[in-house]
Structure 1
């Protein structure tokens, strides 16, 4: 299969899956089967794309055979390909989990087609080489994610959805404004072309203003300090399968966009922009983990942890060295899997105990020791315990910080790790260890569908931790590509020349 086809398959597969489901509207059995098949095919396509990029370098194709910068480029470097693989993995996990956790009413009202249209938007955002097209893909995933969050119409859902969509629409408006000013300044929207044109633009004030606009727009989507209020207000309201995919993937699209534009486009005034990003990283870590410590609901604790962990990812971008960016890439890989798994575990606890409130839970370790182990693996990994994946991710970032003598951010990251342990211990003590406050009735209906993805993701976390070298090498190569934009630009130019 040609690389041109592989580049568009991660967008086409969920799109076709969603369309076929719409053709069979009302056929819940067909939707459930297609849901798993489509997610599995997306994972296979992602692995094939990553293999191709790893062997042959950055790949690009021009949609509609229009050469860059006039046509829309699809570009896959190692970072894009890694993100597509993780999208496929999480899609498959949530597809299987949904079979056991999603209620029939939501399934009949388009839950599965919406899920796959969202995956299409996510993969499109990872692969596009055009800044306006990135905006379009953001809107595709925003529309589908908004409906997924509101689907069911419960009061808490609608309340969370309004906060979610309002701030994300503000982000989109800022993004579109920045794109308009950018196009007015340099006359192109192709990111490879923008990289060259911005380096020639002798207007540092304008470039800095554009950088701040993009930082704010993507900062809202990534939930960095102080733009994160929408996330803990909304992520605990939808069904757990939706919460899990949002927690794992959606904010990382914003992080990916930040890494892409601040490694490819805005690299002139590194001291200012990356210094600011580093300060925001520290504040994001601290406010997120303090919020988690103060919560008493399983999913709200985990929601605040998302914010805290985003701080580590943009710490790597702020440090902006080869090891730091490799640490950020590794951290994203580790975090998506671990965070999603913790949400899935909370859903299993809810199925067995009937509540997400920590005060109402208890005795889970005594009655379900296997579930306690499945919680401890991602919890320890999130906190950075060796030899799990989170330890290696944090070690890379700490080493990178020490190399460039950024001792404050290193100290902050270590203190936040300790507070992460504390808040995980709080969940353990309340939900798993203490005696249950009242007798509970277990509901084990369709539990196997929910447990299998949890076990699978836990195994992935352990494998990454115990055989870290290939994953470290992959992250390091992705970082080296990010620090060398010439390779990205050359791939797009080569794809365009092939058309002429």
Structure 2
């Protein structure tokens, strides 16, 4: 079974290479190859999850080299669960992109680059989830950057190039901080293997450990869009094509959150930065949702809620308990699915109406009832309406905060409740203006007339609704399967905080 661990990384890269080789000559095969590769990834990830849940962490040593000489890929409950969720989400997004023909916009992107860039980015996501080496985690982030920049600037419009520049500057800043941290870690310990570091960090002075932890947290906070380094996200994501924005929202910030999950539990258990994380979670929750309430554009509103709800996951890490971390993992799985579905729905709205500004929309409930349902259900889920998975994840985090007690955790519980109510207000405002009221103005022109004509002609394509519906149903399935999923996240959190199963799997019992 260990041979399956590299597949989620290697298969997207292989598919990307094949598609770059065939180029535009066999363009009809581009979508088929992508969907097949991601479907196989989903199956492999599910098999890995079943195996590690039954037998414990598994390790694949690349090239047969032992740790720390070689790089190890490690599958445990946390990484396998994140892989399964990301594989399901990206498969739906890929089907959406194939049907919507974003890869065939010859007038704005003559090269067949959409699918290869998408797959390279997904290989980076899988590598980040599986890697057992800090330098390989840095490589995974650079793979993400290269693929996501292409997707973000796809089409080369002025707004996308500007957003791509902001995104790249922030990503490079994160990479620079990460490299500085790697240099300090290697100088102090002589290794970059996460399992070995978990052992050797016990011998470091508190000052060095704190310095490394702060550098790593700042680098990952930029990736995860945690306050005060979250301002880049609402200005970057809304300009990208709908499939790219959706996968960015579902996956890219979660890679940063996952890195914080992993390293805080393995390398810095019970460290002094826990209080700082709680304060960051508090600010991220409240400031993000206040930004969402102020927006009149659906995609910008969703971008601010994306920032805000990262605060729930950081709250679970900061609490540093099994219950808190389990709630954070449950909420991450929920959020990856629901946020992706909402951004795809925003893409459908833009295709139908030519805009996502609620001031220029109206009457969608009457004109597009299915689209209305596809927005309403995940919006209520995101808001935490009982008994949906959003409510269950927030309830788990609130209970964990109350168990810890103290002024700051109780303040976080209050902030979580306020954030949930304000999220409901933000999505209800969109519902009232865009779906419920009568239209206020139609037919406004867009900068790119060719793209507008393509998108409007595809607005009623039945195939576009299939992957979105699948994601919405998956979000509802988390409610039906809340018992098994909660048990799995608790086992994942317990395994992560125990540390020894991971260390033993990589280094051996000796």
Note if 1:397 corresponds to 2:411. no
CA distance in 2, matches of 1:445, 1:288: 31
Aligned equivalent of 1:476? 490
What's the secondary structure of 1:75's corresponding residue?
strand
Using the TM superposition, give the Cα deviation of residue 467 of structure 1 relative to its aligned residue in structure 2, in angstroms.
2.6
Match runs of 1:147-296 below 5 Å: 147-201=150-204, 203-267=205-269, 269-270=270-271, 272-296=272-296
Aligned equivalent of 2:327? 327
Match of 2:17 among 11, 16, 19: 19
CA distance in 1, matches of 2:188, 2:472: 48
What's the secondary structure of 2:47's corresponding residue?
helix
The 8 Å contact of residues 348 and 447 in structure 1, kept in 2 or not, is answered as no
The 8 Å contact of residues 99 and 449 in structure 1, kept in 2 or not, is answered as no
1:260 to 1:419, Cα distance in 2 relative to 1, 3 A: same
Aligned equivalent of 2:6? 8
Using the TM superposition, give the Cα deviation of residue 449 of structure 1 relative to its aligned residue in structure 2, in angstroms.
2.5
Using the TM superposition, give the Cα deviation of residue 371 of structure 1 relative to its aligned residue in structure 2, in angstroms.
1.5
1:107 to 1:5, Cα distance in 2 relative to 1, 3 A: farther
1:107 to 1:447, Cα distance in 2 relative to 1, 3 A: farther
Structure 2: segments with no counterpart, 5+ residues? 445-455
The 8 Å contact of residues 382 and 390 in structure 1, kept in 2 or not, is answered as yes
Note if 1:449 corresponds to 2:468. no
Aligned equivalent of 1:416? 419
Structure 1 consecutive aligned stretches of length 4 or more whose deviation exceeds 4 Å: 439-446
Aligned equivalent of 1:42? 41
Structure 1, residues 129-149: CA drift from partner, whole Å, max 9, x if none? 001110011101111111111
CA distance in 2, matches of 1:276, 1:402: 18
Using the TM superposition, give the Cα deviation of residue 102 of structure 1 relative to its aligned residue in structure 2, in angstroms.
3.6
The 8 Å contact of residues 61 and 492 in structure 1, kept in 2 or not, is answered as no
Aligned equivalent of 2:385? 385
Using the TM superposition, give the Cα deviation of residue 350 of structure 1 relative to its aligned residue in structure 2, in angstroms.
1.2
Q: TM-score, normalised by structure 2?
A: 0.94
CA distance in 1, matches of 2:294, 2:101: 29
Using the TM superposition, give the Cα deviation of residue 108 of structure 1 relative to its aligned residue in structure 2, in angstroms.
4.2
1:409 to 1:44, Cα distance in 2 relative to 1, 3 A: same
Instruction: Give RMSD over aligned pairs.
Output: 1.4
Aligned equivalent of 2:500? 486
Note if 1:88 corresponds to 2:87. yes
CA distance in 2, matches of 1:424, 1:342: 11
Structure 1: segments with no counterpart, 5+ residues? none
Using the TM superposition, give the Cα deviation of residue 447 of structure 1 relative to its aligned residue in structure 2, in angstroms.
2.2
The 8 Å contact of residues 9 and 124 in structure 2, kept in 1 or not, is answered as yes
What's the secondary structure of 1:429's corresponding residue?
helix
Q: TM-score, normalised by structure 1?
A: 0.96
CA distance in 2, matches of 1:47, 1:483: 23
What's the secondary structure of 2:428's corresponding residue?
helix
The 8 Å contact of residues 100 and 446 in structure 1, kept in 2 or not, is answered as no
The 8 Å contact of residues 348 and 459 in structure 2, kept in 1 or not, is answered as no
Aligned equivalent of 1:364? 364
Using the TM superposition, give the Cα deviation of residue 455 of structure 1 relative to its aligned residue in structure 2, in angstroms.
0.7
Using the TM superposition, give the Cα deviation of residue 466 of structure 1 relative to its aligned residue in structure 2, in angstroms.
2.3
What's the secondary structure of 2:33's corresponding residue?
helix
CA distance in 2, matches of 1:55, 1:24: 41
The 8 Å contact of residues 97 and 449 in structure 1, kept in 2 or not, is answered as yes
Aligned length: 491
Using the TM superposition, give the Cα deviation of residue 410 of structure 1 relative to its aligned residue in structure 2, in angstroms.
0.3
CA distance in 1, matches of 2:372, 2:220: 36
The 8 Å contact of residues 226 and 310 in structure 2, kept in 1 or not, is answered as yes
